[in-house]
């Protein structure tokens, strides 16, 4: 390992791919062969059955963001084996992903299927669309999305199960009781100070969720 440009906490850092490969080795032929530039009858099922996808993007300066998108299974629609449509549901309006796409269209997607330890990755380029013909099939509860992401696929491949198996992610006996985790209001109070009314914030947010305000 190289000692160039040391991190403040350690001089032992990896700076080149040569150094990296000396540590981890090369990928197998089978692993490389699974990377395709389109979907097929097998890989389509990961998208069709997925209710949750994580979206990675970055701006023109390389500042990164990752954001979850969730809805009914198959909410990311397959238009053809090279093109996806992801409806944009109402959010907090910070619009990190959308603003990033305006500067840099490249995205990374990770699709998960409940109970399944293999996941599915798509790398591609996104275009923000307002086309009502494309968006109308994504209407839920009578509300058509205002925006959607047209995603042109560059790479599509399965991700092996090791991460989910090591984490025991789908083992219900290991599920954490939400009551022991900080609430959104408590997190905000830690940021904004003790004068912030965390209980009122949580109460109002939970009521909005109960009424499904802003879900679609």
Which tokens hold the place of 152? 């042109």
Q: How far is CA 208 from CA 143, 151, 185, 215, in A?
A: 17, 31, 14, 9
CA distance 101 to 53: 17
φ/ψ (deg, to 5) at 180 = -90, -5
Beta bridge partners of 63: none
Q: Which DSSP category does 143 fall into?
A: B
| pTM value > 0.75 | yes
| Cβ atoms of residues 189 and 202 within 8 Å | no
Domains and CATH numbers, the chain: 33-167 (2.30.110.10), 176-210 (no CATH)
Closest among 112, 36, 118 to 81, alpha carbons compared: 36
Average pLDDT by stretches of 10, the chain with 216 residues: 69 94 96 96 98 98 97 98 97 95 98 98 98 98 97 98 97 97 98 98 97 95
């Amino acid at each position: 390992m190289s000692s160039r440009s040391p991190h403040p906490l350690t001089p032992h850092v990896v700076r080149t791919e040569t150094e990296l490969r000396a540590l981890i080795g090369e990928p197998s032929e089978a692993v490389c062969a699974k990377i395709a530039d389109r979907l097929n009858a097998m890989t389509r099922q990961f998208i069709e059955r997925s209710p949750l996808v994580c979206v990675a993007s970055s701006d023109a300066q390389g500042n990164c963001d990752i954001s979850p998108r969730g809805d009914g299974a198959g909410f990311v629609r397959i238009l053809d084996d090279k093109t996806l449509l992801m409806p944009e549901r109402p959010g907090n309006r910070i619009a990190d992903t959308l603003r990033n796409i305006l500067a840099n269209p490249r995205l990374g997607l990770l699709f998960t299927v409940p109970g399944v330890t293999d996941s599915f990755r798509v790398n591609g380029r996104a275009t923000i669309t307002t086309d009502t013909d494309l968006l109308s099939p994504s209407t839920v509860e009578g509300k058509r999305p205002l925006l959607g992401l047209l995603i042109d696929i560059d790479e599509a491949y399965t991700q092996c199960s090791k991460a989910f198996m090591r984490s025991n992610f789908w083992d219900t006996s290991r599920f954490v009781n939400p009551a022991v985790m900080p609430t959104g209001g408590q997190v905000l109070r830690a940021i904004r100070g003790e004068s912030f009314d965390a209980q009122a914030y949580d109460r109002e947010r939970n009521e909005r969720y109960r009424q499904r305000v802003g879900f679609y």
